[in-house]
Structure 1
Amino acid sequence: MIQGDTNIYAKDTDVNFLRKNVGMVFQKPNPFPISIYENIAFGPRVFGINNKTELNEIVETSLKKANIWEEVKDRLKKNALSLSGGQQQRLCIARALAAMPKILLMDEPTSALDPISTGKIEELIEELSDELTIVIVTHNMQQATRVSDKTAFFLLGEIVEYNKTNLLFSNPKDERTENYITGRFG
């Protein structure tokens, strides 16, 4: 903190500032038990956007970015829980994107999904990585090689190794990383 600059301190401690700038997508889809539209409009409303035209635009844009607009555009008033697991996960990504975060945290976002839904989420990660920073936690090494530029290997809460993904997987510097990659443990 810079002495005398209370604005920086306020930003560091403001939960809404954090919620606006850091989105979170969990391992298991967690749509709110309300309409598809209201799931996406929820965050923008929390941040003071109440204009119907603006909300409609945010909802459509967010659903398009999450590659689910075409599947749900005619049923926005339907309960979000009526969607399939893969659709619910993309809805949750759209809900996070609606707040226009700078960082998107994704905790095992495809672990409970079928291969087709997994592919859609991975394509989405690739597309979104041009717009924002995405941090993904995965135990699937193949997925890490497909979707990440940089990889950190953690063991028992410690960062063992961090490098460009292709280097970490092809030439690990730490023996523990190599043991994990080659299946000697884990």
Structure 2
Amino acid sequence: MARDTHPTKTVKDYIRTIVDFPHEGIMFRDVTTLFADPRGFRMAIDQMLHPYAGMRIDKVVGLEARGFILGGAIAHQLTVGFVPIRKKGKLPGAVISEEYTLEYGEAVVEIHDDAIRPGETILLVDDLLATGGTAEAGIKLIERLGGEIVGCSFIIDLPELGGRKRLEKMGMDVRALCDFEGL
């Protein structure tokens, strides 16, 4: 039997870095190369689910926009519903909003006011954890609707930007498949 001479790839191996995007000094971590590879994508979804095996999860909530891709796949695997948290003005119908601070300004995210019932258990997902501002706003929306967050799962953590610590101070279980140094 022939031996496989290719080393085992990790999720991090599928992520490409684009230098100076969207502006000089930024090392953009591009997960679209991970999503495009069937083995890499399945590996990421399986690894994001693994820590929560056997736990009751009623819904998966994804943060705009790459969190929708991950959240849809994870919800499908769990056979549960998916709920998007979107930028202001993108959802039809009645919503609740949460404002948060960005590096250079403010933003608002929204969720339908009937998307989560009190007591439902929620897994929050996104591709990247940087400062944690968007995730914190998402957590606040979920909690305002009575959802109980069982975990926050990301592909990438940028530890230097402090998002993990920010969410852990809120009492969240935070998981990331890999981390990258720098911005």
- The normalised TM-score by structure 2 is 0.31
Greater helix proportion: 1
Bigger radius of gyration: 1
Using CA pairs below 8 Å that are at least 6 residues apart, which structure has the higher relative contact order? 1
- The normalised TM-score by structure 1 is 0.30
Greater strand proportion: 2
